[in-house]
A and B are shown apart, each in its own frame.
Chain A
Amino acid sequence: MIDEDSIEKIYDTHLVARLASYLTPYRVLVVVSVILLIVHSSCAVAGPYLTKLIIDHYLEPVDEIDTPTDTWLPQDASTGIDMIALLYLVVLACGFLARHVQILVMQHTGQQVMRDLRVKIFSHLHKMSITFFDRNKIGRLVTRTTTDVETLNEMFTSGVVAIFGDLLTLAFVLAAMIHLSPDLTMVCCTVIPLVATVSIWFRKRVRESFREVRSAVAKINSFLQEHFNGISVVQLFGHEAESKRKFDTINNEHRAAYYRAIGAHAYFYPIIDWLGVLTVAVILLYGGLQVLDGSLTIGVVVAFIQYGARVFRPIQDLSEKHNILQAAMAGAERIFTLLDTPHDQTISRGSPDASAANRKDKSQEATSFDIEFRNVSFAYTDQHWVLRNISFRIEAGKTIAFVGHTGAGKTTLTNLLLRFYEPQEGQILLGGRDIRNWSVAELRRSFGVALQDPCLLAGTIRQNICFGNTTITEQRLNQLSKDMNLKDLINSLPSGLDEPLLEGGGSLSAGEKQLISFTRALAPNPQFLILDEATSNIDAVTELKISEAFSRMVVGHTAIVIAHRLSTIQRADRIIVMHNGTIQETGTHHDLLSKQGIYWRLYQLQYRDRKSSDLENGKEH
């Protein structure tokens, strides 16, 4: 069933046309490649034909049936043989060059096209909305960008080209054969259906057994992974013997699947070889009889014996290439489906007028923007309200701490502010202007963001701090690392700021990662800061460094902090306590404590133990 589907896909002209459109920029190269392919295929005809000439002219001369093309040949036999040999050498050299250049040109084109396609998919992905990433598994998207494109590459460079080459060779060889003797060609062609049938049967058998092999290999892999990871459970529960027995079954399945493939191979090669000999025997018999009545030369018979083998090869190949085409077409369809998924609307919606307008505003009063949420309600999925009718206002230059349990909706607030999602109800205003009227890039650029997960990428510390912003000077970096208490860390690393980090920050402690992520947020000196504190445990020394850095960074910025540390909360101008998507309490630390509400309880639970030590630390500095 699956196979039928894919066969249809091969003949899906839209898909083919769309794929071909990627070749358009390289059409000159494609044409060159095709010409070279024709040259190379025609070279395959030369050998047997030249053999025929040598035999018929010099070795067993037959004068009567001289064709006009052969008049250029010298009369002297040994000069003639030298000449023909030289000619063959030239043909071989041409074939070599044509093939060499053709491979380079075709592969070069393939690589360029695939690179273009990969970059296109990747760029496309970066224009998708955040919701898209909530819905699609990252692993799948990675496969689209890498493996699927690679399958296409295989199709371009070996599939299509090889099929074309095979067909050309077949055509040239048949043409040469017909030229030499049309009726002997007819006789030879009777073997072709047999070869084709056997090849198709063989491919089918091999494909089936390889499907079984793949499934057995997958089973072996998952067995190994599970048992290597769970080795202690296996050993603790004395399950070794049972595991061995189970593995034996899978292993045996794997062997049985291959046995079927071996069987197919064992039949295929002898049969194909025998069919080859059959062709020779038929040529010998039929051609011999014609030699007997003088209508055919020995040279033609010998040439046919050699041509026979050259007809076989392309027919066998063609049945194999079919599979490559199928896989590639399936890949192409998946890729195009992805490319057809529309972009994030929010990005394109921000009109240039709006951004121009707000640039004007910005120049007038750069830091005087308030942030205001007006009756905002939001649900990630229908009717599961994460925020319910939230309204608050943050005055420019103030620091606001959001506190509350996990799932209270704190992070969602920042997601809306950055326009990762759009609220279903209500409005978010920045400087009195609805954020939907801002250009998304402009909007996001005015925020410095540190997420709960520090999101360090593979690269140096410098790259992780600058994060692509080229305007950050060395001097600013120096100042930043001093302010943000990063100096100790940087000095302790062999290459300092240029120390390469592994993906996710590898060797650094949680506290150090957070410091870097804070520094990154502060580096471009944005108007607003959004800081989502990490909840992980951090040792006392680093904790102190972070809280110092924090108090330095909020100066002169409007800051929204999703706070987990008492020290951060105490430094906030105002605290907003969230619970189940609503605002429960607002006020300063002291106000809220005296209220003895949720904040007071939270404080009791999370911060009381730390209070004394925090205060002590505070005094020291």
Chain B
Amino acid sequence: MFLQLQTLFPYLVRHRWRYVAGFSTLILKTLLAGTIPFVLRFAVDSLTKSFTSETLWKWALLLLTLALTKGVFQYWMRLLLIGISRDIEYEFRNDVLSHLLCMPRKFFRSYRTGDLMSRVTNDMNAVRLMLGAGVMHTVDVILTFFVVLTVMSATDWKLTCLIFLPTLLVSLVVSYFGRHIHNYSQKVQESFADISALTQESLSNIRIVRAYAREELEITRFTELNRKYVATNWKLIKLWGKFYPLLELLVGVTYLVVLWYGGRRVLSGELTLGSFVMFMTYMMMLTWPMIGFGWVVNVIQRGTASLKRLNELLKQPPSIADPTVNISRSTEIRGDLQLCDVTIRYPNSEQRILRNLNLDITAGESMAIVGPTGGGKSSLVELIPRVIEPSEGVILVDGENIRSIPLRILRGSIGMVPQETLLFSATIRENIVFGCPGASNRSIKDVTEMACLNKDIADFPNGYETLVGERGVTLSGGQKQRIAIARALLRDPRILILDDAFSSVDTVTEEHILRQLKIVMRNRTTLLISHRTSTAQYADRIVVLVAGKIIEDGTHEALLRKQGYYYELHQKQLIEREIESVKS
């Protein structure tokens, strides 16, 4: 547990002075709170003797002043101690995110997105609760017990001992039930999730359900799951049903002890009536610490468990990291690429995605990669920005090992349009300038024209400032892809990688974009993955990648003459286009 907590030390140290101030106010508040029943004792005692209205005023005002001072400290205690926990949560969450942003894709594939999200939010919250309310109440509870027990045992230690037993029992009950209730709540949630899943499944397959007149059966299945849910819930309810009344009973018993034993002590003259009332007031004051103690134990347990899950993320180093030695001197990349004997294996498997691949691309060349799905095309281009690393072999950029080039420089010279278009819920402009925040309006306009976006943007309600995604406009697949293309072009890349970047763009627009690209990318390197030969023929050179090997390599014409895979593909697509034209 201590080892897990180490992660938090830097944050705790950073806020040490506020902690000192917070705990000081906490101590003062608790001490003052302890005096109130004590004062009440004298006030009640004075009622039993001869007294004047002045005495009453005196006690009443003293009580109010004490309570007011206590309140001021209590205010600062909360503001400081709970405030710190929110600050640490904020800082810690920022740090965890920074760490995650540097993790390789492999890492994100090994965790489900929902799981990662839950760690950054729910687990973080549990840690925060431990640091804030958890720490505050722990100290408060211990201190209150200490103060109250001291005053009480100084007055009547026998009665104090007798009260202590049920008090301890309350804490145990809270801790025990708290843990079990937490466990069962999770089971109930799982059962509830089953109901949701079935509803989802049943409703999204509604046609087949209808076709088979299966409605009754679906309802039976649903009823059955509901029965299970109610059964699971019933266990939780039984726990709650015992927990609350038991708590009331035990708190009542402490009160009973004071009433009975305290009463007899007053009768025998060992206790004044004022002290008797004081004991009762202290019992009221102890109700929360009794419950709080058990609660705090669970909060700390849960917080530590959550911290452990967060530590697990923080422990993992970014596997694709910048070189520590041999940093390449050049800051500009020309665009020569060389793949030497490159092999990529599936993780934990002998199966290979690329097999001893050799490829030479000179700066300024444009190369198309075609081939069937699963042939390794995407993996091949992902090697260049080091999204993935080869299992064997070396990649050279401008003759230098890719690993000796700082990632910032390497990726800074690459513009990539990935196969899956990912835009962010921001404005169109923000999405386009994603890779170069300082871009001028002029260059933004240029790339939107190159990506044939200008017409679309003019049609949007707010032009460049139109929001995309959930809260904004819904874009067509082609529009999304063209924004992704503009985004890549704006970086003015030395190496442009288009991974099936035109799959949702119609052929006329595609040809238009490709023609312009040819001019812009004249002296730069372009890698172009495509399923269409009509796209591929725009490249200077075409390679055919089948099962991780290059089987054909040459210009469009040369490959057609070869009458191999590329030729077949081309023929088939010719007919397809012909039919298209017949249709329309």
Contact A126 B199 (CB under 8 A): no
Q: Determine whether A285 belongs to the interface, using a CB cutoff of 8 Å to chain B.
A: yes
Closest to A139 in B: B200
**Which A residues are in CB contact (< 8 Å) with B61?**
281
Evaluate whether A284 and B63 lie within 8 angstroms (CB atoms) in the complex, with A81-B260, A81-B264 already known. Answer: yes
Q: Which B residues between 312 and 367 are near A, CB-CB below 8 angstroms?
A: none
Among all A-B residue pairs, the 7 with the closest Cβ atoms: A270-B71, A85-B260, A237-B435, A468-B217, A277-B67, A99-B245, A230-B422
Separation of A214 and B252 alpha carbons in the complex (Å): 38
- The 8 A CB mask of B234-263 against A (1 = contact, 0 = none) is 100110111011101100110110011001
Q: Determine whether A27 belongs to the interface, using a CB cutoff of 8 Å to chain B.
A: no
- The 8 A CB mask of B476-516 against A (1 = contact, 0 = none) is 00000000000100010000000000000000000000000
Q: Determine whether A151 belongs to the interface, using a CB cutoff of 8 Å to chain B.
A: no
Chain B CB count within 10 A is highest, among A217, A220, A228, for A228
Contact A133 B36 (CB under 8 A): no
Tell me how far the C-beta of B332 lies from the nearest C-beta in chain A, rounded to whole angstroms. 16
Which single member of A55, A84, A224 contacts B120 (CB below 8 Å)? A224
**Which B residues are in CB contact (< 8 Å) with A95?**
245, 248-249, 252
Separation of A243 and B100 alpha carbons in the complex (Å): 11
Q: Determine whether A254 belongs to the interface, using a CB cutoff of 8 Å to chain B.
A: yes
Separation of A142 and B196 alpha carbons in the complex (Å): 6
Separation of A271 and B117 alpha carbons in the complex (Å): 38
Q: Which A residues between 97 and 151 are near B, CB-CB below 8 angstroms?
A: 97, 99-100, 103-104, 107-108, 111-112, 115, 118-119, 122-123, 125-127, 130, 133, 138-139, 141-142, 145-146, 150
Evaluate whether A119 and B211 lie within 8 angstroms (CB atoms) in the complex, with A55-B273, A230-B424 already known. Answer: no
Evaluate whether A85 and B263 lie within 8 angstroms (CB atoms) in the complex, with A59-B276, A221-B121, A418-B211 already known. Answer: yes
Tell me how far the C-beta of A217 lies from the nearest C-beta in chain B, rounded to whole angstroms. 7
**Which B residues are in CB contact (< 8 Å) with A127?**
215
Evaluate whether A280 and B63 lie within 8 angstroms (CB atoms) in the complex, with A115-B230, A233-B418 already known. Answer: yes
Q: Which A residues between 537 and 596 are near B, CB-CB below 8 angstroms?
A: none
**Which A residues are in CB contact (< 8 Å) with B48?**
60, 298
Contact A146 B192 (CB under 8 A): yes
Contact A244 B97 (CB under 8 A): yes
**Which A residues are in CB contact (< 8 Å) with B199?**
122, 141-142, 145-146
Separation of A254 and B258 alpha carbons in the complex (Å): 47
Q: Determine whether B561 belongs to the interface, using a CB cutoff of 8 Å to chain A.
A: no
- The 8 A CB mask of A76-108 against B (1 = contact, 0 = none) is 011001101100110011011101100110011
Q: Determine whether A269 belongs to the interface, using a CB cutoff of 8 Å to chain B.
A: yes
Q: Which B residues between 99 and 127 are near A, CB-CB below 8 angstroms?
A: 100-103, 105, 108, 113, 116-117, 120-121
Tell me how far the C-beta of B248 lies from the nearest C-beta in chain A, rounded to whole angstroms. 6
Contact B267 A112 (CB under 8 A): no
Tell me how far the C-beta of A491 lies from the nearest C-beta in chain B, rounded to whole angstroms. 25
Which single member of A150, A292, A302, A605 contacts B277 (CB below 8 Å)? A302
**Which A residues are in CB contact (< 8 Å) with B201?**
457-458, 503
Q: Determine whether A366 belongs to the interface, using a CB cutoff of 8 Å to chain B.
A: no
12 CB < 8 A contacts A-B? A50-B259, A60-B48, A77-B267, A84-B260, A88-B260, A100-B241, A122-B202, A142-B200, A251-B93, A259-B83, A292-B53, A405-B583
Q: Determine whether A234 belongs to the interface, using a CB cutoff of 8 Å to chain B.
A: yes
Q: Determine whether A426 belongs to the interface, using a CB cutoff of 8 Å to chain B.
A: no
**Which A residues are in CB contact (< 8 Å) with B435?**
236-239
Closest to B107 in A: A231
Separation of A287 and B163 alpha carbons in the complex (Å): 29
Contact B416 A309 (CB under 8 A): no
Consensus secondary structure, chain A interface? helix
Q: Which of B39-47, B144-152, B441-449, B537-545 is the interface stretch? A: B39-47
Tell me how far the C-beta of A526 lies from the nearest C-beta in chain B, rounded to whole angstroms. 10
Separation of A255 and B128 alpha carbons in the complex (Å): 12
Separation of A221 and B63 alpha carbons in the complex (Å): 48
- The 8 A CB mask of B43-84 against A (1 = contact, 0 = none) is 110011001110011011101101110111011101100110
Contact B267 A92 (CB under 8 A): no
**Which A residues are in CB contact (< 8 Å) with B67?**
273-274, 277-278
**Which B residues are in CB contact (< 8 Å) with A88?**
252, 256, 259-260
Evaluate whether A59 and B79 lie within 8 angstroms (CB atoms) in the complex, with A51-B280, A270-B74, A274-B71 already known. Answer: no
Chain B contact residues (Cβ within 8 angstroms of A): what range? 35 or more
Which single member of B56, B203, B229, B437 contacts A142 (CB below 8 Å)? B203
Given contacts A115-B227, A301-B44, 11 further A-B contacts (CB under 8 A): A47-B259, A99-B245, A123-B219, A127-B215, A226-B424, A269-B78, A270-B71, A281-B61, A292-B53, A405-B583, A451-B207
Closest to A99 in B: B245
**Which A residues are in CB contact (< 8 Å) with B412?**
238
Evaluate whether A108 and B234 lie within 8 angstroms (CB atoms) in the complex, with A85-B260, A96-B249 already known. Answer: yes
Which single member of A123, A227, A270, A467 contacts B212 (CB below 8 Å)? A467
**Which B residues are in CB contact (< 8 Å) with A335?**
none
Q: Which A residues between 237 and 273 are near B, CB-CB below 8 angstroms?
A: 237-240, 242-244, 247-248, 251-252, 254-255, 258-259, 262-263, 265-267, 269-271, 273
Contact A237 B211 (CB under 8 A): no
Q: Which of B167-175, B300-308, B571-579 is the interface stretch? A: B571-579
Tell me how far the C-beta of A419 lies from the nearest C-beta in chain B, rounded to whole angstroms. 9
Contact B203 A270 (CB under 8 A): no
Evaluate whether A84 and B259 lie within 8 angstroms (CB atoms) in the complex, with A224-B117, A238-B411 already known. Answer: yes
Contact A274 B98 (CB under 8 A): no
Which single member of A78, A96, A145, A277 contacts B246 (CB below 8 Å)? A96
Contact A92 B233 (CB under 8 A): no
**Which A residues are in CB contact (< 8 Å) with B59?**
281, 284
Q: Determine whether B90 belongs to the interface, using a CB cutoff of 8 Å to chain A.
A: yes
Q: Which B residues between 530 and 581 are near A, CB-CB below 8 angstroms?
A: 572, 575-576, 578-579
**Which B residues are in CB contact (< 8 Å) with A235?**
101-102, 387, 411
Closest to A455 in B: B208
Q: Determine whether A617 belongs to the interface, using a CB cutoff of 8 Å to chain B.
A: no
**Which A residues are in CB contact (< 8 Å) with B487?**
237
Closest to B242 in A: A100
Contact B97 A78 (CB under 8 A): no
Separation of A230 and B435 alpha carbons in the complex (Å): 13
Contact B68 A274 (CB under 8 A): yes
Separation of A468 and B121 alpha carbons in the complex (Å): 42
Q: Which B residues between 1 and 60 are near A, CB-CB below 8 angstroms?
A: 36, 40, 43-44, 47-48, 51-53, 56-57, 59-60
Q: Determine whether B154 belongs to the interface, using a CB cutoff of 8 Å to chain A.
A: no
Evaluate whether A234 and B71 lie within 8 angstroms (CB atoms) in the complex, with A50-B259, A266-B78, A451-B211 already known. Answer: no
**Which B residues are in CB contact (< 8 Å) with A239?**
434-435
Q: Determine whether A393 belongs to the interface, using a CB cutoff of 8 Å to chain B.
A: no
Tell me how far the C-beta of B108 lies from the nearest C-beta in chain A, rounded to whole angstroms. 5
Q: Determine whether A616 belongs to the interface, using a CB cutoff of 8 Å to chain B.
A: no
Q: Which of A195-203, A323-331, A442-450, A477-485 is the interface stretch? A: A442-450
**Which A residues are in CB contact (< 8 Å) with B196?**
142, 145-146
**Which B residues are in CB contact (< 8 Å) with A119?**
219, 222-223, 226
Separation of A51 and B255 alpha carbons in the complex (Å): 10
